[in-house]
Structure 1
Amino acid sequence: MDTATRLLRLLSLLQSRPQWDGAELATRLDITPRTVRRDVARLRSLGYPIDAEAGIGGGYRLGPGGRLPPLLLEDEEAVAVAVGLRAATTATVSGVEEAAASALAKLNQVLPARLREQVSAIGAQVTALPQGELPTIDGEVLTILAAACRDTEGLRFAYRTHDGTDSARSVEPLRIVHTGRRWYLVARDRDRDAWRTFRVDRITHPERTGIRHHFDNPPDPVALVAEGTNIAPWQLVARVRVQVDAETARKALPPSEVIVDPIDAHSCELRFAANDLSPLTFQTTRIPWPFEILDPPELRTAVHALAHRLLNA
């Protein structure tokens, strides 16, 4: 194995797990521990941050920062990355499209011809279902919000509500939730002392406050977004008790359509909403388990009428 190949192999091993013992690396590369030390020194001279600790529990690990080491990918991984980058070129996050196109062009330059053919075939034969006009997210705003969530650091930002009212918010961020169509920030609003969901496309001028926070019992961010988008905006809310446990129901019913609340080990309550009875009736008929309509009474009437009509047909 020549030196260049060995160095790439060493980088690949260091990327594969957090820490390596020098003797292990020497065995995997079929070289001496002294050669491992020399190769590590060569990689450091090229800008790769490799940390080393002596003694029991020590070893080598690839540290953060420095130049990005080359990604050594298996065939399936390379195709997956290329397909993901191609999908990102049509994302709703501003700035990501151009960066994804640039990264895809660089990746295509180093992909073997057989893999380029696979990626091209997928791109040519896959068409995304149009989803209408979706709001565009500022990539820089999204990055600031995500970093504040990661570091449990407070945020201040300007926010425009659905009716066009502008306000200044001070929040403790928890998580960003993507529904497939929109992005939401789940956070505790300090001024209102309550949990809120904020559409990211309505957030401007976010600033990190430098003030850290800690949550003792935070809510489920996905459930909070589902409640705010599936129930709150609508006039009619259906409540249906089903004879199945909540975990099974959650696996079968998308949270973007139905909220599942456990009742006991063998039953749960489903909630879904709309502005008129027709979609509620349709959703009810799709429930695959024995159920009882709890509310509203007019939904029971509509489902009974539909059942009679189907039986007569």
Structure 2
Amino acid sequence: MLETSARLLKLLSLLQLPREWSGAALATELGVDVRTVRRDVDKLRNLGYPVDAVPGVAGYRLGSGTALPPLLLDDDEAVAVAIGLRAAATGNVAGIEESSVRALTKLEQVLPSRLRHRISLLQSVDVTPSGAAVVQPDVLLAVAAAARDRQRMRFDYRSHDGTTSVRTTEPHRLLHTGRRWYLVAWDVEREDWRTFRLDRLEPRIPTGPRFTPREVPDPNLTARGVASGGYRYQARFRVHASAEQLADRLSPSVATLTPLTEDTTQVDTGANNLSELLLYMGLLGHPFEVESPPELITEIRTLTARLTAALPASG
């Protein structure tokens, strides 16, 4: 039975090569007769692998089916796939970052240690888009695995002002915004949902006991936490435009929009620099008032004076 299973795996590996195989060639590679090859091909088909018959040469090739069957990778292929997934997780191709991390977590779970060592040697870059916050691959994978396995995670966390603390969390999910990675988790000590930037996080291994997943009470929690929670300043504006108009300019990862009237919207967002925040809001092209924080009022006066001084003298 073991010999038959090993032969099926080798047959599958041969069929995954981009070529057409005659029955005689496969028999030679496997050390069996052509009749055994036909029986093994039927077994693969019963397992869901779409093995097509090639007309004219009495041969076989692996086709495409309605479902994705398991793939067999040799050492070099596994290393190449892992490096490619790490590169995809940087956000260079929009929309596939989170799925790349999930796939990479599954792959690295089963990789032999010798292959992990090769990947570490070949892939020394950080999992981050150019100019964005640096997240180490090992941190990203550790947090993704804890969220997948529903295991509590303790980590050292550095806030925007540099203070550090130890957090005990129930990790819910990872979120990528195009520039940063975030963890949405239940903070056990604070008994509330929190959003953590992964570039400020250092996991403590091993992870803790398993937990029963909680339901996020507010569907906008993730977006609100990412839009403002990870920044030094959290700001609120009243903008004279509809939420539909603003949604085209402000994505959920940038700001949380709350309609107040048909043509007035509350905008909650954040930034590490008040001047940049004000300029960005001004460039939206809609009138707005500052509701918080008070520091923004002082910054508006300072910025107004600076811009006015830049005007050429009259007459």
TM-score where L is the length of structure 1: 0.52
Q: Report the Cα distance in structure 2 between the residues aligned to 1:226 and 1:197, rounded to whole angstroms.
A: 10
1:101–1:290 CA distance, 2 compared to 1 (3 A): farther
Partner of 1:243: 240
Work out whether residues 157 and 164 of structure 2, in 8 Å CA contact, stay in contact via their aligned partners in 1: yes
Does structure 2 conserve the Cα–Cα contact (< 8 Å) formed by 1:158 and 1:206?
no
Equivalent of residue 193 in structure 1, options 186, 191, 194? 191
How do 1:1-313 residues align onto structure 2 when only pairs under 5 Å count? 42=41, 44-45=43-44, 49-50=47-48, 62=67, 65=70, 67=72, 85=84, 88=87, 91=90, 130-131=130-131, 134-139=133-138, 141-150=139-148, 153-162=150-159, 163=162, 165=164, 167=166, 169=168, 171-201=169-199, 202-204=201-203, 205=205, 207=207, 209-215=209-215, 217-219=217-219, 220-230=221-231, 233-234=232-233, 238-254=235-251, 257-273=254-270, 278-295=275-292, 296=294, 297-298=297-298, 301=301
Q: Would you say the 8 A contact 2:237–2:267 is kept in 1?
A: yes
Instruction: Note the alpha carbon deviations across 1:161-209, whole angstroms, 9 max, x for none.
Output: 344645251x222221223343221100122201122333423225262
The structure-2 alpha-carbon separation of the partners of 1:301 and 1:182, relative to structure 1 and needing over 3 Å to count, comes to closer
For the structure 1 residues 306 and 260, does the alpha-carbon distance in structure 2 shift closer, same or farther, using more than 3 Å as the test? farther
Say whether the 8 Å CA contact 1:273–1:280 is kept in structure 2: yes
What do you get for the CA RMSD once the two structures are aligned? 5.0
Give distance in 1, aligned partners of 2:167 and 2:239.
43
Contact 1:144-1:206 within 8 A present in 2 as well: no
CA distance in 2, matches of 1:312, 1:256: 42
| Distance apart, 1:298 and its partner CA | 3.4
- What is the alpha-carbon distance in structure 1 between the residues aligned to residue 273 and residue 141 of structure 2? 39
SS at match of 2:230: helix
Distance 1:285 1:137, change over 3 A: same
Q: So what's the TM-score if we normalise by structure 2?
A: 0.52
Residues 174 and 248 of structure 1: is their aligned pair in 2 closer, same or farther, counting only changes over 3 Å?
farther
Distance 1:245 1:185 in 2: 30
1:43 Cα offset (Å) = 6.1
Structure 1 unpaired stretches of 5+: 9-37, 52-59, 69-81, 104-127
Distance of aligned partners of 1:145 and 1:130 in 2 relative to their CA distance in 1, 3 Å threshold? closer
Deviates more, 1:191-200 or 1:203-212: 203-212
Deviations 1:83-138 (A, max 9, x none): x9499189599999x759989xxxxxxxxxxxxxxxxxxxxxxxx99527x43423
Q: CA deviation at 1:258?
A: 4.3
CA distance in 1, matches of 2:154, 2:268: 33
C-alpha change, 1:275 and 1:39, in structure 2 (3 Å) is: same
Structure 2: which amino acid aligns with 1:217? P
Aligned-partner Cα distance in 1 for 2:136–2:88 = 14
The 1-side partners of 2:245 and 2:120 are apart by 37
Instruction: Give the total of aligned pairs.
Output: 227
Q: Distance in 1 between matches of 2:218 and 2:72?
A: 37
Take 1:85 and 1:146, find their aligned partners in 2: how far apart are those partners?
A: 18
Q: Letter of the aligned partner of 1:192 in structure 2?
A: R
Q: What amino acid is the match of 2:147?
A: C
